[in-house]
Structures are given as C-alpha cells and as structure tokens.
Copies of this chain bind each other. A is one copy, B any other.
C-alpha cells in the first residue's frame, strides 16, 4: 500500500464509512461520466479496492449500485466494466427524457421562484464557461446537473431521481456517440429555457425542451461498431 493510500485509509478510519462510500461512488461515477473511464473499461475489484483504500466488500457494494444505474455492466464471473450503451438503449433513454422532462416543465414553471431561477442561471453560466475553455467533459456534467436540478424543481422526488439516472446515462451516450467538439446542448439553450420558465410559460418551456432534447439526440452519430469477428488484420496487422 502506498503512503497516499495509507493516509487516505487512516483519515477515513474514524470518519463515517457512509460518507466515504458516497465519496468513492461519486468519484467512480464522475470518472465514467467524464470519460476518464471509457466504455468497455474493466473495473477490477482488487484494483479499485487498493486505489481507494477499502476492501473489496465496499467496492462491490458500489459497483452494484452503479450497475443498477446502468453505468457499469456486471457480467457473472467476469466482473464489472463501464457500460457501452447500445443504439437501442440510447433511443430508449432519450425517448424517456422526452416524455418525462417535457412533461415536468409545466410543474416547474408553476413552482419555480426567483432564487431557484438565479441558481439555474448560475449553472448555465458555468456551463458556458466550461465550454469556452474547452473542457467538454466538464460541460457535459454541468449540463446534466442542470437538467437534474430542473427536474428536482418539479417537486416530484421520484421522477427527479429517475431523471438523474437518465442524465448520467445520457452523458455516457454522448461520450460514445457524440462528435468531438460538438456537445449537443447549444450553449444558449438553457438560458432561453430559464426565460420561459420565469415567465411562467410552461407550455412554451415544454415545447422548447422537446426541441432541445431532439437537437441533442440528432447530433449523435448512431453507428454501432461491430464486435463480432473483428478484422484482426486491419486492427493489429501492419
């Protein structure tokens, strides 16, 4: 065990394990969403356990949670790997977002207050800033956070939690099928949406969200690479 790991372990030994687990969960989740862990990457339990300074028991718990959110795929006797979303799954996710996020807009428009609108504007600004500075993966995460916060403002915690998983999966989909340098979300879209919501125009916001999501989906290039009988000559041969 390295010094850094030993320190991490010590500092957490008296802290509440719950928070430590939550932190590790977020660390892995963020790494996946930001494509530092690429789809298909294997997540060996021993390696993760050593990195985070806890035993495999805790790692397995976290991997199972990630698996239920469809961020990692658990293959029996083969272990965990970062999920590689299929085109079908991508369609399902965006169809679900269409139905739910659009359906929630009227509620959000009715309930949102000034403070919450300001919070959303701040998030949208930070997103634009990340885009300008070329931090695409950070921008993807901020965009997802924006959509999640929006769903939370509907007042329905159950649907908000589901939207959160949909947005996480969307980030993964974008990381796989999105064009480099083409984020999907236009930078001003979110600001426009806030305007409609502040005006209390739920129907307008709903229609705009629909176009917004359609635009993201349309920006994807849905080509599934074949994994059966790959041309080894082409891949490895000179």
Oligomer copy total: 2
Nearest B residue to A166, CB-CB: B158
- Shortest Cβ distance from residue A209 to the other chain B in the assembled complex, whole angstroms: 14
Q: Which of A25-71 contact B (CB under 8 A)?
A: 61, 64-65, 68
Is the pair B64, A158 in contact by a Cβ cutoff of 8 Å? no
A178 in contact (CB, < 8 A): no
When chains A and B are docked, how far (Å) is the Cα of A92 from the Cα of B157? Answer: 7
Task: Answer whether A93 and B18 are a contact pair too, CB < 8 Å, given A68-B68, A103-B103.
Answer: no
Interface string of A222-238 (1 = CB under 8 A from B): 00000000000000000
Interface string of A98-109 (1 = CB under 8 A from B): 011001100000
Chain A count of residues within 8 A CB distance of the other chain: 22
- Shortest Cβ distance from residue A66 to the other chain B in the assembled complex, whole angstroms: 11
Contact with A99, one of B64, B88, B103, B157 (Cβ below 8 angstroms): B103
- Shortest Cβ distance from residue A86 to the other chain B in the assembled complex, whole angstroms: 11
Q: Which of A111-169 contact B (CB under 8 A)?
A: 156-159, 162, 166
Task: Answer whether A92 and B61 are a contact pair too, CB < 8 Å, given A99-B99, A100-B100, A103-B103.
Answer: no
Is the pair B95, A18 in contact by a Cβ cutoff of 8 Å? no
Is the pair A159, B95 in contact by a Cβ cutoff of 8 Å? yes
Nearest B residue to A92, CB-CB: B158
Partner-B contacts on A (CB < 8 A): 18, 61, 64-65, 68, 76, 88-89, 92-93, 95-96, 99-100, 103-104, 156-159, 162, 166
